[in-house]
Amino acid sequence: MKKVNLAVVGATGMVGRTFLKVLEEKQLPIENFYVMASARSAGQKLTFNGREYIVEELTEHSFDKPIDIALFSAGGATSAKFAPIAAEHGCIVIDNSAQWRMDPNVPLIVPEVNPEDISWNKGIIANPNCSTIQAMVALKPLDDKYKIKRVVYSTYQAVSGAGVAGWQDLENGLKGEAPKKFPHPIANNCLPHIDVFMDNGYTKEEMKMIWETRKILHNENMKVTATTVRVPVFDSHSESINIEFENAFDMADLVETLKNAPGIEIKDDVKNNVYPLALDAAGKDEVFVGRIRRDESVENGVNIWVVADNIRKGAATNAVQIAQEVIKNMK
Protein backbone atom coordinates (compact mmCIF):
# COMPACT_ATOMS: atom_id res chain seq x y z
CA MET A 1 0.00 0.00 0.00
CA LYS A 2 1.29 3.45 -0.94
CA LYS A 3 2.65 5.62 1.89
CA VAL A 4 0.88 8.98 2.10
CA ASN A 5 1.40 12.44 3.51
CA LEU A 6 -1.58 13.06 5.78
CA ALA A 7 -2.85 16.11 7.65
CA VAL A 8 -5.48 16.46 10.36
CA VAL A 9 -7.20 19.86 10.36
CA GLY A 10 -8.96 20.75 13.61
CA ALA A 11 -6.62 18.37 15.41
CA THR A 12 -7.17 19.76 18.91
CA GLY A 13 -10.97 19.34 18.99
CA MET A 14 -12.94 16.34 20.26
CA VAL A 15 -13.20 14.68 16.83
CA GLY A 16 -9.70 15.79 15.81
CA ARG A 17 -8.11 14.06 18.80
CA THR A 18 -10.15 10.96 18.03
CA PHE A 19 -8.86 11.09 14.43
CA LEU A 20 -5.35 10.69 15.88
CA LYS A 21 -6.40 7.79 18.09
CA VAL A 22 -8.16 5.92 15.25
CA LEU A 23 -5.29 6.60 12.79
CA GLU A 24 -2.90 5.03 15.32
CA GLU A 25 -5.15 1.99 15.78
CA LYS A 26 -5.73 1.43 12.06
CA GLN A 27 -2.02 1.84 11.26
CA LEU A 28 -2.44 3.73 8.01
CA PRO A 29 0.71 3.87 5.84
CA ILE A 30 1.75 7.44 6.69
CA GLU A 31 5.00 8.99 5.43
CA ASN A 32 4.70 12.58 6.70
CA PHE A 33 2.10 13.67 9.26
CA TYR A 34 0.83 17.18 10.00
CA VAL A 35 -1.57 18.57 12.61
CA MET A 36 -3.30 21.89 11.96
CA ALA A 37 -5.80 24.08 13.77
CA SER A 38 -6.81 27.71 14.27
CA ALA A 39 -4.35 30.37 15.41
CA ARG A 40 -5.79 29.96 18.91
CA SER A 41 -4.63 26.32 19.12
CA ALA A 42 -1.38 26.68 17.12
CA GLY A 43 1.72 25.80 19.10
CA GLN A 44 0.04 23.07 21.15
CA LYS A 45 1.78 19.70 21.21
CA LEU A 46 0.03 16.46 20.24
CA THR A 47 1.43 12.94 20.38
CA PHE A 48 0.91 10.59 17.45
CA ASN A 49 2.48 7.14 17.14
CA GLY A 50 4.83 7.94 20.01
CA ARG A 51 6.12 11.14 18.43
CA GLU A 52 5.35 14.71 19.41
CA TYR A 53 3.94 17.10 16.78
CA ILE A 54 3.46 20.85 17.08
CA VAL A 55 0.09 22.11 15.88
CA GLU A 56 0.49 24.42 12.89
CA GLU A 57 -1.84 27.34 12.22
CA LEU A 58 -4.09 26.60 9.25
CA THR A 59 -3.47 29.20 6.54
CA GLU A 60 -3.89 29.59 2.77
CA HIS A 61 -0.32 28.26 2.43
CA SER A 62 -0.71 25.14 4.58
CA PHE A 63 -1.17 22.98 1.48
CA ASP A 64 1.79 24.37 -0.47
CA LYS A 65 3.69 21.34 0.83
CA PRO A 66 2.76 17.94 -0.63
CA ILE A 67 -0.21 16.49 1.29
CA ASP A 68 -2.17 13.56 -0.19
CA ILE A 69 -5.07 13.37 2.26
CA ALA A 70 -6.45 15.85 4.81
CA LEU A 71 -9.02 14.92 7.43
CA PHE A 72 -11.01 18.05 8.31
CA SER A 73 -13.03 18.54 11.49
CA ALA A 74 -12.87 22.27 12.03
CA GLY A 75 -16.43 23.44 11.30
CA GLY A 76 -18.28 24.46 8.15
CA ALA A 77 -16.79 27.94 7.69
CA THR A 78 -13.22 26.59 7.85
CA SER A 79 -14.09 23.81 5.40
CA ALA A 80 -15.79 26.21 3.01
CA LYS A 81 -12.64 28.32 2.86
CA PHE A 82 -9.79 25.79 3.08
CA ALA A 83 -11.08 22.53 1.56
CA PRO A 84 -11.10 23.98 -2.00
CA ILE A 85 -7.57 25.34 -1.47
CA ALA A 86 -6.36 21.90 -0.39
CA ALA A 87 -8.15 20.23 -3.31
CA GLU A 88 -6.58 22.67 -5.78
CA HIS A 89 -3.17 21.50 -4.52
CA GLY A 90 -4.05 17.89 -5.34
CA CYS A 91 -4.98 16.91 -1.78
CA ILE A 92 -8.09 14.78 -1.15
CA VAL A 93 -10.10 16.33 1.67
CA ILE A 94 -12.34 14.13 3.84
CA ASP A 95 -14.56 16.64 5.59
CA ASN A 96 -16.53 16.04 8.77
CA SER A 97 -18.60 19.25 8.69
CA ALA A 98 -22.01 19.72 7.07
CA GLN A 99 -20.54 22.14 4.51
CA TRP A 100 -20.24 19.79 1.51
CA ARG A 101 -22.64 16.95 2.31
CA MET A 102 -25.46 17.95 0.00
CA ASP A 103 -23.28 19.40 -2.75
CA PRO A 104 -24.15 17.31 -5.85
CA ASN A 105 -20.47 17.33 -6.88
CA VAL A 106 -19.28 15.89 -3.57
CA PRO A 107 -19.72 12.21 -2.67
CA LEU A 108 -21.21 11.49 0.78
CA ILE A 109 -19.65 8.25 1.98
CA VAL A 110 -20.21 5.45 4.45
CA PRO A 111 -17.59 2.86 3.41
CA GLU A 112 -19.76 -0.17 4.25
CA VAL A 113 -22.59 1.32 2.18
CA ASN A 114 -21.46 3.26 -0.92
CA PRO A 115 -17.66 3.07 -1.31
CA GLU A 116 -18.10 3.13 -5.11
CA ASP A 117 -19.11 6.82 -4.89
CA ILE A 118 -15.56 7.74 -3.80
CA SER A 119 -14.44 7.26 -7.43
CA TRP A 120 -16.20 10.41 -8.65
CA ASN A 121 -14.76 12.79 -6.05
CA LYS A 122 -13.24 16.03 -7.32
CA GLY A 123 -10.93 16.50 -4.34
CA ILE A 124 -13.52 16.72 -1.54
CA ILE A 125 -15.37 13.80 0.10
CA ALA A 126 -18.00 14.45 2.76
CA ASN A 127 -18.39 12.47 5.97
CA PRO A 128 -22.12 12.19 6.79
CA ASN A 129 -23.85 13.37 9.95
CA CYS A 130 -23.13 11.11 12.96
CA SER A 131 -26.74 9.98 13.35
CA THR A 132 -27.03 9.22 9.62
CA ILE A 133 -23.86 7.09 9.49
CA GLN A 134 -24.98 4.45 11.97
CA ALA A 135 -28.45 4.29 10.43
CA MET A 136 -27.00 3.73 6.94
CA VAL A 137 -24.90 0.76 8.05
CA ALA A 138 -28.10 -0.93 9.26
CA LEU A 139 -30.43 0.18 6.45
CA LYS A 140 -28.28 -0.56 3.39
CA PRO A 141 -28.40 -4.40 3.54
CA LEU A 142 -32.15 -4.26 4.18
CA ASP A 143 -32.74 -1.85 1.31
CA ASP A 144 -30.74 -4.08 -1.03
CA LYS A 145 -32.82 -7.10 -0.09
CA TYR A 146 -36.36 -5.81 0.53
CA LYS A 147 -36.41 -2.26 -0.96
CA ILE A 148 -37.22 0.39 1.62
CA LYS A 149 -40.44 2.33 1.11
CA ARG A 150 -40.45 4.51 4.25
CA VAL A 151 -38.22 5.22 7.26
CA VAL A 152 -39.14 6.84 10.59
CA TYR A 153 -36.19 7.89 12.75
CA SER A 154 -36.40 8.73 16.45
CA THR A 155 -32.95 9.48 17.84
CA TYR A 156 -31.55 9.73 21.35
CA GLN A 157 -28.29 11.63 20.86
CA ALA A 158 -25.38 12.00 23.27
CA VAL A 159 -24.09 15.40 24.36
CA SER A 160 -20.64 14.72 22.87
CA GLY A 161 -22.34 15.30 19.51
CA ALA A 162 -22.45 18.97 20.52
CA GLY A 163 -18.70 19.04 21.20
CA VAL A 164 -16.83 19.88 24.39
CA ALA A 165 -19.39 22.56 25.32
CA GLY A 166 -22.22 20.00 25.15
CA TRP A 167 -20.24 17.58 27.30
CA GLN A 168 -19.58 20.33 29.87
CA ASP A 169 -23.26 21.31 29.99
CA LEU A 170 -24.15 17.80 31.15
CA GLU A 171 -21.18 17.49 33.50
CA ASN A 172 -21.85 20.88 35.10
CA GLY A 173 -25.63 20.49 34.94
CA LEU A 174 -25.40 17.39 37.12
CA LYS A 175 -23.82 19.69 39.72
CA GLY A 176 -26.73 22.11 39.42
CA GLU A 177 -25.08 24.68 37.13
CA ALA A 178 -27.02 26.50 34.39
CA PRO A 179 -26.46 25.44 30.75
CA LYS A 180 -24.15 27.42 28.48
CA LYS A 181 -24.44 25.42 25.23
CA PHE A 182 -28.04 24.18 25.23
CA PRO A 183 -31.16 26.39 25.51
CA HIS A 184 -32.39 24.35 28.51
CA PRO A 185 -30.74 22.12 31.12
CA ILE A 186 -29.72 18.75 29.65
CA ALA A 187 -29.16 17.05 33.01
CA ASN A 188 -32.26 14.97 33.88
CA ASN A 189 -33.89 16.24 30.70
CA CYS A 190 -34.45 15.47 27.00
CA LEU A 191 -34.31 18.24 24.39
CA PRO A 192 -36.20 17.65 21.10
CA HIS A 193 -33.99 20.30 19.55
CA ILE A 194 -30.67 19.60 17.78
CA ASP A 195 -29.27 22.37 15.56
CA VAL A 196 -31.58 25.21 14.48
CA PHE A 197 -35.31 25.08 13.69
CA MET A 198 -36.22 25.46 10.04
CA ASP A 199 -39.28 27.00 8.38
CA ASN A 200 -40.99 23.61 8.06
CA GLY A 201 -40.86 23.03 11.84
CA TYR A 202 -38.13 20.40 11.61
CA THR A 203 -34.68 20.96 13.08
CA LYS A 204 -31.71 21.07 10.74
CA GLU A 205 -30.46 17.81 12.30
CA GLU A 206 -33.73 16.11 11.32
CA MET A 207 -33.51 17.43 7.77
CA LYS A 208 -29.86 16.34 7.54
CA MET A 209 -30.93 12.78 8.30
CA ILE A 210 -33.68 12.95 5.68
CA TRP A 211 -31.55 14.50 2.93
CA GLU A 212 -28.46 12.41 3.62
CA THR A 213 -30.37 9.11 3.74
CA ARG A 214 -31.74 9.75 0.25
CA LYS A 215 -28.35 10.79 -1.14
CA ILE A 216 -26.37 7.86 0.30
CA LEU A 217 -28.97 5.25 -0.67
CA HIS A 218 -29.38 6.85 -4.14
CA ASN A 219 -33.13 7.25 -3.76
CA GLU A 220 -34.43 10.82 -3.92
CA ASN A 221 -38.03 9.61 -3.56
CA MET A 222 -37.58 7.57 -0.39
CA LYS A 223 -40.09 8.60 2.28
CA VAL A 224 -38.12 9.58 5.38
CA THR A 225 -39.07 11.47 8.53
CA ALA A 226 -37.15 12.11 11.75
CA THR A 227 -37.35 13.41 15.30
CA THR A 228 -33.92 13.98 16.83
CA VAL A 229 -33.54 14.37 20.59
CA ARG A 230 -30.55 15.31 22.76
CA VAL A 231 -30.44 13.12 25.87
CA PRO A 232 -28.35 13.23 29.08
CA VAL A 233 -25.82 10.63 27.90
CA PHE A 234 -22.14 11.51 27.39
CA ASP A 235 -21.26 9.18 24.52
CA SER A 236 -23.01 7.12 21.80
CA HIS A 237 -26.19 7.83 19.88
CA SER A 238 -29.18 5.47 20.09
CA GLU A 239 -31.85 5.31 17.40
CA SER A 240 -35.26 3.73 17.10
CA ILE A 241 -35.76 3.08 13.38
CA ASN A 242 -39.08 2.01 11.93
CA ILE A 243 -38.77 0.69 8.37
CA GLU A 244 -41.47 -0.19 5.87
CA PHE A 245 -40.48 -2.29 2.84
CA GLU A 246 -41.91 -2.67 -0.65
CA ASN A 247 -41.40 -6.45 -0.42
CA ALA A 248 -42.42 -9.12 2.07
CA PHE A 249 -39.73 -10.55 4.36
CA ASP A 250 -39.11 -13.50 6.64
CA MET A 251 -37.96 -12.41 10.13
CA ALA A 252 -35.23 -15.05 10.45
CA ASP A 253 -33.93 -14.12 6.99
CA LEU A 254 -33.93 -10.39 7.88
CA VAL A 255 -31.94 -11.01 11.07
CA GLU A 256 -29.48 -13.17 9.11
CA THR A 257 -29.12 -10.39 6.51
CA LEU A 258 -28.16 -7.92 9.25
CA LYS A 259 -25.80 -10.45 10.88
CA ASN A 260 -23.88 -10.90 7.63
CA ALA A 261 -23.66 -7.18 6.81
CA PRO A 262 -20.32 -5.37 7.24
CA GLY A 263 -19.84 -3.21 10.33
CA ILE A 264 -22.82 -4.61 12.26
CA GLU A 265 -22.87 -6.53 15.53
CA ILE A 266 -26.22 -8.02 16.54
CA LYS A 267 -27.17 -7.79 20.22
CA ASP A 268 -30.66 -9.20 20.37
CA ASP A 269 -31.42 -11.68 23.15
CA VAL A 270 -34.25 -10.02 25.04
CA LYS A 271 -34.87 -13.05 27.27
CA ASN A 272 -31.48 -12.31 28.82
CA ASN A 273 -31.85 -8.50 28.65
CA VAL A 274 -29.33 -8.27 25.81
CA TYR A 275 -29.80 -5.29 23.48
CA PRO A 276 -27.57 -2.44 22.28
CA LEU A 277 -26.61 0.07 24.98
CA ALA A 278 -24.85 3.42 24.73
CA LEU A 279 -22.46 2.40 27.52
CA ASP A 280 -21.39 -0.72 25.64
CA ALA A 281 -20.96 1.06 22.28
CA ALA A 282 -18.70 3.81 23.66
CA GLY A 283 -15.13 3.44 22.41
CA LYS A 284 -16.06 0.89 19.72
CA ASP A 285 -16.34 1.11 15.92
CA GLU A 286 -19.19 -1.35 15.31
CA VAL A 287 -22.83 -0.42 14.80
CA PHE A 288 -24.90 -2.43 17.27
CA VAL A 289 -28.38 -3.57 16.25
CA GLY A 290 -31.07 -5.19 18.40
CA ARG A 291 -34.76 -5.16 19.47
CA ILE A 292 -35.47 -6.49 15.96
CA ARG A 293 -39.20 -7.11 15.65
CA ARG A 294 -41.94 -7.01 13.08
CA ASP A 295 -44.09 -3.87 12.98
CA GLU A 296 -47.53 -5.41 13.08
CA SER A 297 -49.28 -2.13 12.22
CA VAL A 298 -48.21 -2.28 8.56
CA GLU A 299 -47.88 -5.02 5.96
CA ASN A 300 -44.08 -5.17 5.58
CA GLY A 301 -42.56 -3.30 8.52
CA VAL A 302 -39.84 -3.81 11.10
CA ASN A 303 -38.53 -1.95 14.15
CA ILE A 304 -34.84 -1.94 15.04
CA TRP A 305 -32.74 -0.27 17.75
CA VAL A 306 -29.35 0.98 16.53
CA VAL A 307 -26.52 2.25 18.75
CA ALA A 308 -23.00 3.47 17.90
CA ASP A 309 -20.24 5.68 19.27
CA ASN A 310 -20.98 9.03 17.61
CA ILE A 311 -17.42 10.36 17.87
CA ARG A 312 -15.83 7.17 16.51
CA LYS A 313 -18.08 5.50 13.90
CA GLY A 314 -20.21 8.65 13.72
CA ALA A 315 -17.22 10.83 12.80
CA ALA A 316 -13.54 9.89 13.17
CA THR A 317 -13.62 6.17 12.35
CA ASN A 318 -15.84 6.67 9.31
CA ALA A 319 -13.47 9.36 7.98
CA VAL A 320 -10.42 7.15 8.53
CA GLN A 321 -12.20 4.25 6.80
CA ILE A 322 -12.79 6.57 3.83
CA ALA A 323 -9.07 7.44 3.86
CA GLN A 324 -8.24 3.71 3.80
CA GLU A 325 -10.44 3.29 0.71
CA VAL A 326 -8.80 6.30 -0.96
CA ILE A 327 -5.29 4.93 -0.27
CA LYS A 328 -6.32 1.49 -1.57
CA ASN A 329 -7.27 3.08 -4.89
CA MET A 330 -4.16 5.27 -5.20
CA LYS A 331 -1.76 4.42 -7.99
For residues 186 and 232, the answer to whether their CB atoms sit within 8 Å is yes
The active-site residue, picked from 130, 190, 193, 218, is 130
Give the other-Cβ count within 10 Å of 122's Cβ. 12
H or E segment at 251?
helix 251-259
Rounded CA separation 146/221 (Å) = 16
For residues 270 and 214, the answer to whether their CB atoms sit within 8 Å is no
Q: What is the DSSP letter of 59?
A: -
Question: Is 237 annotated in the active site?
Answer: yes
Instruction: Kindly compute the dihedral angle of the four CA atoms of residues 58, 61, 63, 64, in this order, to the nearest 10 degrees.
Output: -160
CA 10 vs CA 38, 41, 292: distances in Å: 7, 9, 38
Q: Which residues are catalytic?
A: 130, 237
